[in-house]
Each structure stands twice: as structure tokens, then as C-alpha cells.
Amino acid sequence: MEPDASIETSSMIRVAVIPISDVTPLLFRDYAAMLIRHHTVSLSSISSFYTEHQKSPFAHQPWESGSLRFKFILGGSPPSPWEDFQSNRKILAVIGICHCPSAPDLRSVADQFTAASKTYSSSLVQRCFAFCPVDSQLEDESVKGSNLILFPPADRQTQEFHLQTMVQDIAASLLMEFEKWVLQAESGGTVFKTPLDSQASLSSEEVIKAKKRRLGRAQKTIGDYCLLAGSPVDANAHYSTSLELTRLTADFFWYAGAMEGSVCALLMDRMGHKDPVLEDEVKYRYNSVILHYRKSFIQDNAQRVSPLSFELEATLKLARFLCRRELASDVVELLTATADGATSLIDASDKLVVYVEIARLFGELGYHRKAAFFSRQVAQLYLQQDNKFAAISAMQVLAMTTKAYRVQSRASIGPSNDAGQTHADGGKVHHHSIVSLFESQWSTLQMVVLREILLSAVRAGDPLAAWSAAARLLRSYYPLITPAGQNGLFGALVNSAERLPLGTRCSDPALPFVRLHSFPLHSSQMDIVKRNPAREDWWAGAAPSGPFIYTPFSKGEPNNSNKQELTWVVGEPVQVLVELANPCGFEVMVESIYLSVHSGNLDAFPVSVSLPPNSSKVITLSGIPTNEGLVSIPGCIVHCFGVITEHFFKEVDGLIIGATQGLVLSDPFRSCGAAKFKNVLLPSITVVPSLPLLVSHIAGGDGSVMLYEGEIRDVWISLANAGTVPVEQAHISLSGKNQDSVVTVASETLRSALPLKPGAEVTIRVTLKAWQLSKTDSDAAASKGMPGSSVRQAKDGSSPLLLIHYAECADVKGNKNLCLAREPETVSAPPPGRRLVIPLNICVLQGLSFVKARLLSMEIPARIGEACSTQAQLERGNTEQVNGSERHADRLVKIDPNRGSWGLRLLELELYNPTDVVFETSVSVDMENTSNQENLSDNISAEHGEPKTRIDRDYTARVLIPLENFKLPVLDGSILGNSFQNNGTSGSRNNSFSEKNIKAELNASIKNLISKIKVRWQSGRNSSGELDIKDAIQAALQASVMDVLLPDPLTFGFRLAKASSGDINVDREVKSCVSGDSIIAHEMTAMEVLVRNNTKEAIRINLSIACKDVAGENCMEGDKATVLWEGVLSGISMEVPPLEEVKHAFSLYFLIPGEYTMLAAAMIYDANEVLRARARSDALDEPIFCRGPPYHVRVSGTR
Amino acid sequence: MIVCVAVVGHQNNPLYIQSFTKGDDSLLRISILNVEGCSYHSLKRHHIVHCSLDVVDERVNNPKKSGLIINETFLGLLNPTENYKVYGYLTNTKVKFILVTTDLEVRDVDARVFFGRFHTAYVDAVSNPFHIPGKKITSRKFAERVSTIVKSFGLSSGG
């Protein structure tokens, strides 16, 4: 059996090519390659070398179209026992190849060649080609006449031409030798024998039989030579004769041989032209060949020789001839028959050849799996021969099968994998990796193949191949391998690695499995923001790069959501989290693992890690970007088990996806108890040039600031540029919750510090005011206790964030040149800016808590006296003087006794201190109302400024806020100008206002009022703040707002009339007035009642005055009247002009000293709607009754 | 006698391989250290099934040339390998059923009947809501049913 057998093989002249003297294998191969190119020599080209010595036996030689074909056998081959049977098996020529520089003595070369060619007894022509001779060798005359042919040094083309000529010469010589031989054979009595013919004992009968057969055999052999000589017609003639003769003598073996020759002659004649008729003919004849070879099987010598190999060879020849897709079924049948037959072949190498050929033919048909199957058989045969070279062959053959079994080494797939797509499903194209996932389920077969590769590699002494096979086996099939087996593979890996030089790389990764875990986002201190060159506030248009993955503003960009983008900065370390898994039963020591960066602009730092059996770990791999540009990180470089491999994330992702679909045996991460798979997409990473880097720290520690509700405090934040580029632009803004708790930010300080050089530092002040805890917060705080709540508060993200956007290149100055140079050319975006997020960790503690607010009214009757502020005085504008003097006289008197405080309202706030510190509160009213500012503020400072209310822990305190002051200024202050006073008699409302307007105005007024009331508190030395009680006040005031704010339409007042008492009494009156307004019994006391109209329309009233004693009895009427009077006291009809006062004088005579109360009341006639509204009366004709506050009259006894 | 039946998925992934010779049924978990000792025969069956996919692929990809009538699911004799004959069947979803038998004479009718039943059994098995398409069939009931079908192979039509 011979490899590469085809039908045409019969027409090939076998030429042994042997190295002579010292030729390095490389040179020999080089020269041989040059020679092999001349495998076909046309007859026309050799005619010049050919001389016809005698009549050529090849009468029909096609000199024009025919050719001689050579089969060069490098290194030669031993003679075959079947040479007589098939002449093409003979070595008919020997070509020696000699490299002259390494063989100086040409004589000895010639001798060596002669000796070597002697071993080829069948050779007819011998030549020795000596290449590159030196001059001295060229001149060497001694080798003239020998077979040595010198090829003078020349360029390749010339040499090839020279060589071609020499080959043509050889061809011509061979042709002449063939002629000679054929002439001899026709005449002479050559005996043709094959090993089939029994040699031991030639009985006479057999001798006769052999003689009979001789003729047929001779004809067949002559036919063979005709074929070799390139004359198919002659060959065919001889073969026909031979067929006749051999059939007659029942020499089936030779018959089959002649038939084979005749087919070859037929094909040669057709010059490679194929048609179905020819194919059928060939098929028919070859079937007969196969049949006859089978017939020639002789049981006797079956143990020694068998024509079986010829039968199989013929089958293979036919299969090769037919090997086309369309005839696949025929070929498969032939090949199957061959494979069946091969099992009974005796010679192992024959078997090998058969399997190799079968595998090749199946491969050619496109039956890759069958080809792989037979390749594996070949490999097993190789492995049976227990030597290193066979093992290497086995390994190589197995390597070829890996593609069909989808276990190929990554090295053999190659970087650009065009064959990565395969048509598996009705022409649909699937990506290689997916299909390989599916096909990887033939684990039984795959493991066997890999194991055999491992075995053969170990035997062949190829540690890298062994390592690779063991790695593939372990990585792909660990779930099917017992722990003992896993350990065995571990040992194989380690043993192989020991034989490998340090730092060997292998394309196939072993363990551990590596997958991308996550890219840690920039810390908030390092955020990078794309600059929007079109805007002054460049950060506004650009989406922030984090920490928020989702922002509603980026929703419109669909691409944004599925492809994350990352920006890294040159020189700033970056981190990538990867997860490693070791699902096997032994510990995996990863000597080093680092990011594999194909773009080459990242310095990755190796990490060493050890993975216990069945475990997984998330580790951080870091690196420093070195150059700007895109970074691609397809995987990790792992140095493990002594070999460096690259692990791609993509592959593991595919594996895990396959595991979820059930295509792969097991998910290595899941089996190690790792967290559930998150599909981490490899983001596109861009490296940008160095940027400035601001680092912040809050003076007094970066912990959270503990503030009580409403507390105001300054925080100092120092910013330092830790980058290598100055900060030239910076802008501070706020974000997050509770932004209004930041009162001021000293952004000016920062701006004035620009540009901030690397290393420079600036401190800015931020004033904070703690917000109110919401109800739930305080509840939670109460339930958890203070420390718990503070932690929660800090994490809640309820604190505001201070955002500082800063960048290197200002628009106008700074690196202007750089910017300008860049922009017009590349129109590239300016280098990105950065954002520093400083979380103002405010932890708000519950401070004073507001329990309730109540509106209290206080009724202190006024005393009648002369000093009672009069309208005249007020109109003269000396209110201040009066008040001032009063105040100076007695600061503690807060209520004017002459005025009383009828209808005075006090807002009572009940505050509770749940904290463990002491609070002091004070109430203040900020009045910025223009006209009476001085007046009121004076009042307030007197009344509320100084005293502080101390509230101890766990105590409740009440704070009173008098609201009286607000009656006047709020209503129509601007209209009435100075025409109001402290006692509450005020200008009226604009009657033209509709009620609605009034209400709106009122509400505004209330708000205004409320905003002016401030309850400040202080605790300790440096805590101070303000209580937020607006809502509470509003709620308290809401009910009685009318009463508080609106003046009555009429105000009444009593006073002692000075004028009426006459000049005599002046001294006393004045005295009495000053001394306390005492009225003496049994004296006529002149009094006046003052009625003031607070509206803008004249009011007609019916006034009446009453006086009551301590018991509340009317003391002016009835039997026991104790007071006598002069003047009219009831039913006084009068009209009060708008905003004016009317006096009504009368006199009283008190019979008994004591306390009396004066009351004035009036019926209003024809009330307008405003009055009605004020009085809350609906009926139109109902009279409106107005009552004035009571005035006390103290009547002392006679002196 | 049927020695092996197999279900191969549309991506040529084995879904079910069952040998019907004695003593070598546990093929899926093979210790790597003693593959040959454990299941030489089943390995061989695996190879036969695997190799037969070549022919199925060819017929699937060139339905016209191989004379496959549309909607014809029975692929016929795929290849005679050594002592075995391999028959194939292709469902509309490109799932292949492979039958390996040692019988030298198998009537097409028998094979068709067999595959028809086998197909029904397969459909029932994958209709199980707990079955994940593409995963190996592990249903014990399916296995039982298959062995029943295998046992009755050739009997129905008097073969």
C-alpha cells in the first residue's frame, strides 16, 4: 500500500531523490522543491535530447501532446516486492543532490553517489546534481564523464532553467532506456514473479503453468512501460493482449493488474477529460479489477501475502477518481468497504495508509466527522507503534480532527477566523462560537480526543501540546471528570509546565474562569463630564458620567442605555473588577493575573491570587492609562500552572449564556457559589489626557455635620488640586435634596483663587441651615434613638450635594492656544471637564419640637385718664415721645394702663425639648415696614428682645408672642399713612374692596406677618438657629384672623374732660391726671366719650353709655343709683365722619367710692356691606351693635 | 436488533443517546482516566451517530440533489458502517433521529413506523413544561417509552 495512490499512479516514473555528502535538510528540501516542480515533462520538450537508436517499440507515442510524469521520492525507498507486478513501483532513476560548499571533494561525491545509486538496482538513469560549486570545483576535470552535473552559481531563475534542462535530459535518457528494456522483454525470457507465486517448491506442473502465464505477464509489464513512456495507445494494445492471455491462464491477479493499467491508459488517452460515459467505464472496469483482485486470494499463502492490499488500493483509487459531492453515496460505499477490508489487513503500515486515505477522501467529500473518525483510527495506529515519531504523527493527526470535534486549540483557529461560520442548519449561518457550544455536547467523543492528544503529546515529548490539551480538557469538561481525574490533569499541567521554558505562552486557557465583574465608577471626587463647547456652562448639556446610571434626561438616546461609556485619564489609576472561579477539586494558584490590553495604552499591574477548590473570588485589577485613545480590554493575561495564557471575557460570557440555555455542562461560577450572573458589557473606554483633579475635604473632619433642626452653621471646605494640570474654570452648584439648607456658598473665594495650580489649595465657606425633620423621620428617630437615626440620615441621601464643575482650559484664557489649535483642525471636543461632588453630610437631629400653638386673648380693661393717648397728640406726630417717656418711666409695664388691652391677642407656642441639651429661645419680629419701623422695633426690643426662655431637656416651655402690634400695620397702612396708633384704632378698609379682595389681601398680610415672627434659639456656645413655626402660626391664626387683624369699625374711648372742669380745677386735674387719674367721689367729673370711625364712610350711630359697679349692676338707673349724671347718656344719635373722631361730653357724680366700669355701645344704622361682613350678620335690616372695651374708673373717697 | 437510538438537536447537539446492548448504558459520566475500559461500545455508538450527521447535514443542505422530497421526514439509510446500518429521520424543526441497527435487512416500512412512534414519543417528551428546549432529554418516562418502541421494532409489520 502506498499513500496518495490514484489511477494515474501507474503512469508515473518513480525517481529517488537522495542527498549526497553533507546537505543540511533545509537545503536539501530547498533543492528538492526546485526539482519537484518539474514533475511533468512534455515529450515535445525532450525530443532534442532523444536519439532513436533503433526502431522504437512505442509506435504510437504522442510526441506532440504526450508527456512523461515523474514521481519524486525524497530520500528514496526500499525496493518493493511487487516491483515486477507494477513497474511503476520500481525506482527507475536516482537523482543525487549535493551542496558543493559543504563537499569540497567532488571525486568523493561522485563515489558516494555511485555507491548510493547501486542500492537502487532497478534504476536505469543516475544523475548527481551538485549545486553552488566554487571555481576550483568547476575547473576540476577529474569528475568529467561521471554522472556529476555541476550547477554553476547563478540566480534562481537561471538555476531553475538549468535544472529543467537536466530533468528533460533525464527524461529523454529514461525514454531511451524504456525502449531498450521493452525490446529486450519482448524477445527475452524474463520471468515475472510476485510474492503471491509460491516460491518454495515449484512442481513441474507449476513451472509449466508459470511458463504459460509468462507471456501474459510480459505483455502486462510492457504495457506498464508504455504507460511510463507516455504512450497510452501502445500500452492499451499490450494490456489487451495481456488481458486475453491472463484470462486464459486464470492468472486473475495479473488480469486485474492489466485491467488497472488499461484504465490508466484510457484516462491518459483522454488527457484528464472526464465525462459520465468515461466515469461509468472506469467504474465498470475498476469493479472488475477489484473483483479479480479478490478472486486472486489464495488461502494457502494468506498468512504471508495477500492481494487484499491491492484490492483496497484499487478501491481507494476508484474512490479518489469518483470523489465528488454528487457521487458521495458511491464513494461512501467504496470507502466503507475499504474500511471494512482494512480490519483484516496484516501489515500495520498498510492499515495506516488505508485509514489515512479514507480520512482524506471523506474530508474531500465534506464529511468532516467521518474524516475525523478515521483520522482518530490513524492516530490510534500510530500510538500502537511505541515510538516518539509515531507519537508526533499521532498528535498531528489528532490535531486535525479537533476541528470536527470542536475541541480545537485556539491557536489553530487563528486570529481572523473566516471559517468561523459554518452552515449547520439548512444554510443558515451561525457564528462559530454558538455552534461550537452546541456541538460541544458531544463531550464523550471530545474528551476522548483530547485525552488522546494529551497522551500522544506526552509520548511525543511536546509539553506545550500536552499542556494545551490538558487545559482544554480541564476547562471544558471538568464537570465530567472525577476529582481523581482532575488531579491527574493538574499533574499533567504541572509536569508539562516543568518542561517548558519560563514564560511560555499558550493560546488555550486553563483555569481559572475569568469574567468581568464590573467597572467601579469613578469616585464622586473624580467624575468626568463631557464639555459642551457651545455653552458657557459647559457641564449643562452633557450627561453626567455617574454616579447616576439612569437619568430621565438621557432617556431619549437609545444607544446610551446599552453601551456604557467610560473615560479614563492618563496617569490616574483605574480599576476593573473581575471574578475568578475554580470549579475543580484542587487549589489553583494564579501566579499573576493582569488585564490584557490590546490597545497598548494601559500599564496593567499583575496580581497574585490563590483559589481554593470550588471557589470563586472577585478581585480588583488595576492599571494606569499611559496614552490617550481607545482602550480595549478583551480579557486577562493569566500566569497559572506555569504557562501564560490569555482569558477572554467574551468566551466565558458565551459559556455562561450557554449554561443558562443548557448547552454547556455547567456554569463554573454558579457551581462555585458565585452570585448570579450579571451580563456586564464591555464598555467602550476612552483615555483622555491628564485633567486637573480637585480633592476636597471638610474642615473638622469629613464626617457628617450634626445639626439640630433649624441650626445655622458655617462649614469650611478646602479644595486642593491633586492633578498635574491647573484648574482654570470652576463653577459651584447645588444638587440633591434639601438644597435650601445651603444658605450661602462662597463661590467668589473659589473664583478668585483660579487658576488653581497643581498642589494649590483653597478654602471656601458654606453656610448651612438644618432643615426640619419630617414627621416620619422624627418618629423613626424617636423609635431608634438618636445615633441610629443619625446614621440613617447620613445614608439617606437627604443631604444636599455641592457640585463643583471644573476644567483645565478656560474658554478665553489659559490654554487658549491649545484649544484654538485643536478646534479648527480636528473639530474635536475640548478635553472633558470634571465634576467634584462634595456631599454635605448634614445629620439633622431633632431640636426643639413644636407642640402646639394657641391664640390667647387677654382682656385688661383700660383706666380712664387724661393721659390716654389722644387723637390730637397722635396727629401731631409726637407718639414717639409719649411712648418713649412712658417706657423710660417703667420698662416693665408693657400694657398701657390708659389704653388697656382689650382684645389683645397673644400667640402661645408650646415647645418641647426632646434633646439632651438646653435650649434658650427668644422671639423677635423683623419689621421692615417703612413708616413705623423705628417705632415698632423699639417696642419690640423692649417687649420681646431681651428675655430668653430657657428650656431644659425633656421640658416643655411656652413662648408668648403678642400679636397686637400687627393689627395696624397690616391693614391699609399705606393708605392711612400715619393715622393709626398703638391702641388699635386704625384706619379702615377701603369700602370699595370686594370681600374677595379683602380676603386675598388678608392672606398676604398674614403671611407677611408670620414671616416676620422669628423664634431663635441658642444651645451651648456655638449652636444657634431658628425654629420653623410658620405653619404652626398660620394654623393658629387661621381661625381668628379677622379678629386679630381687622380693627372694629368703631372704637370707643373715655377720658376725663379737662376743658369742662374750668380753669380753677386745672391744677388739680393735672395733678390727679399725673398721679394716677384718680377720681374723687362726691365731685362732678367731666368725661368725654370718643367714638372713632374706622371706616371710610360716615356712620350714623345711636350711642349709649353705661356705668356699672363692681357687682356689674347698672348703677345709673333704678332705685339705688349710686351715680348721678349730667348730660345725655343714652340714645345719642350722631354721625361720625369717616376716619374721624366724635366727642360726646357728659359728667358723672359718683356717690360711693369704688371701682366702676364705663361701657360705651352703639347701634349702627344703615350699615353697609363691609360693616355687615365684619359683624358677620346676614340680615339686611338687622342693626349692628358695637361695643367698646370696658374702662375702669376708680373712685376714691373724699379727702 | 437495534443497538442504539439517538436524538440530535437542530444544531447537531446530542439530546439523547441510548444504547441497547448490555452493560454500557452509563455513558455520560465517564472518568477520563478509564474511558476505554468503561464504555468502548458506547463510545463507538457515539462515533457512529456523530459520523452519520455528516450524511444528514448533506441531505439537509442539498435537499434537491439527494432527492429528498419536501416534507419527507424519513431520510432512509444514511450509511452502512462496519456491522451497522444507520437510518435517519428529520423533523420539521431540524431535530434528527438516528437509528443504529445490526439487522442486515431492514424494511423501509419498519423504519418508518419506528420513527413515527419515536417522533410521537419525542414530541410528548419535549412538551413537558419542565423540559428546556435544547437541553438533553432526561425524562425517565421517555426512556421507558423508547425502549418499548425499540423492543417492538419490526414486529408490527410481521418482520
**Comparing A145 with B58, which gets the higher pLDDT?**
B58
Cα–Cα distance between A305 and A312 in angstroms, integer?
14
Tens digit of pLDDT for each residue in A183-222?
877 766 666 666 666 555 556 666 677 777 777 888 888 8
- Where do we find the cell 462555585? A672
Dig out the grid coordinates for A1165 from the structure. 344704622
Q: Which residues pair with A71 in a beta bridge?
A: A14
Say which of A340, A430, A485 has its CB closest to residue B32. Answer: A485
- The SS3 of residue A516 is strand
The tens digit of pLDDT for each residue in B71-106 reads 667 777 777 666 778 888 888 888 888 888 887 777
pLDDT at B62: 67
Are A722 and A694 in contact by the 8 Å Cβ rule? The answer is yes
- In the 3-class helix/strand/coil scheme, how is A479-507 assigned residue by residue? HHCCHHHHHHHHHHHHHHHHHCCCCCEEC
What is the chain B residue with the closest CA to A481? B31
Distance CA A1118, CA A90 (A): 170
Contacting B with CB below 8 Å, chain A residues are 325-326, 328, 332-333, 336, 339-340, 362, 366-370, 373, 423-427, 430, 434-435, 438-439, 441-445, 447-448, 451, 473, 477, 480-482, 484-485, 488-489, 661-663
Of chain B residues 56-85, which have a CB less than 8 A from chain A?
A: 57-58, 60-62, 65, 79-82
At A357, is the secondary structure helix, strand, or coil? helix
Which parts of chain A sit beneath pLDDT 50? 415-435, 542-545, 554-562, 778, 780-795, 811-827, 867-894, 928-946, 968-993, 1059-1076
B55 touches chain A (CB under 8 A): yes
Cβ atoms of B149 and B121 closer than 8 Å: yes
**H or E segment and range at residue A513:** strand A513-518
Taking each helix axis from N to C end, the angle separating A308-322 and A276-295, rounded to the nearest 10 degrees, works out to: 170
Identify which of B30, B82, B134 has the shortest CB distance to residue A340.
B82
Nearest chain A residue to B28, by CA: A444
Cβ neighbours of A585 in B, within 8 Å: none
Cβ atoms < 10 Å from Cβ of B34: 11
CB spacing of A370 vs B54 below 8 angstroms = yes
Closest residue in B to A478 (Cα) is B32
Q: Which three cell numbers stand for residue B122?
A: 419525542
Mutate which of B51, B52, B65, B66 to disrupt the A interface (most A C-beta within 10 Å)? B51
Chain B interface, mutation test: which of A405, A431, A442, most B Cβ atoms within 10 Å? A442
User: For chain A, how far is it from start to end, CA to CA, in angstroms?
Assistant: 164
Cis peptide before A1137 (omega within 30 of 0): no
Whole-number pLDDT of residue A1172? 66
In B, which residues are within 8 Å of A333 by CB distance? 80
Across the interface, of A366, A447, A661, the residue whose CB is closest to B35 is A447
**Strand ranges inside chain B, DSSP E:** 2-8, 14-19, 74-81, 84-90, 96-101
CA-nearest of A1159, A1162, A1132 to A1144 is: A1132
Helix residue spans in A725-851 (DSSP H): 747-753, 775-784, 786-796, 816-826
Contacts of B31 in chain A (CB under 8 A): 481-482, 484-485
**CB of B31 less than 8 A from some CB of A:** yes
A445 and B27 within 8 Å at the Cβ level: the answer is no
Does B60 contact A339 at a Cβ distance shorter than 8 Å?
no
Measure A395 CA to nearest chain B CA, in Å.
18
| Chain A residues near residue B80 by CB distance under 8 angstroms | 333, 336
pLDDT tens track for B137-158: 878 888 888 888 888 876 654 4
> Is A1061 in contact with A1069 (CB distance < 8 Å)?
yes
**Inter-chain contact A438–B32, Cβ cutoff 8 Å?**
no
Q: Please report the pLDDT score of residue A555 as a whole number.
A: 45
Q: Do A485 and B136 touch (CB under 8 A)?
A: no
What ipTM was assigned to the predicted interfaces of this complex? Answer: 0.83
**Which residue of A426, A435, A477 is in closest CB contact with B60?**
A426
* Contact at CB, A443 and B28, closer than 8 angstroms: yes
Closest approach of chain B CAs to the CA of A370, in angstroms? 5
Whether residue A438 and residue B11 make contact (CB cut-off 8 A), yes or no, is: yes
In chain B, which residues have their Cβ closer than 8 Å to the Cβ of A485? Answer: 31-33
Nearest to A223 by CA among A270, A255, A196: A255
Chain CA centroid to CA A527, Å:
16
How does A1029-1045 read in b/e, with b if 16+ C-beta sit within 10 Å?
beebbbebbeeebeebb
Measured CA angle at A236 (ends A235, A237), to 5 deg: 90
Q: Which chain B residues are closer than 8 Å to A662 by Cβ?
A: 132, 134-136
**Sheet hosting strand A904-912, strand order edge to edge:** A849-858, A904-912, A956-962
Rounded to whole angstroms, the Cα distance separating A1048 from B127 reads: 90
Burial class (CB in 10 A: 0-12, 13-18, 19+), A1128: middle
Nearest chain B residue to A431 by CA: give it.
B11
Chain A residue with CA closest to B46: the answer is A445
Is the Cβ pair B35, A451 closer than 8 Å? yes
Q: How many interface pairs between A and B have CB atoms less than 8 angstroms apart?
A: 110
Nearest to A1139 by CA among A970, A988, A971: A988
Measured distance CA(B67)–CA(A82) in Å, rounded? 44
Residue A563 C-alpha cell reads as: 453601551
CA distance A396 to A156: 33
Radius of gyration of chain B (CA): 15
Contacts of A424 in chain B (CB under 8 A): 11-12, 57
Q: Given B46, B62, B80, which is nearest A442 (Cβ)? A: B46
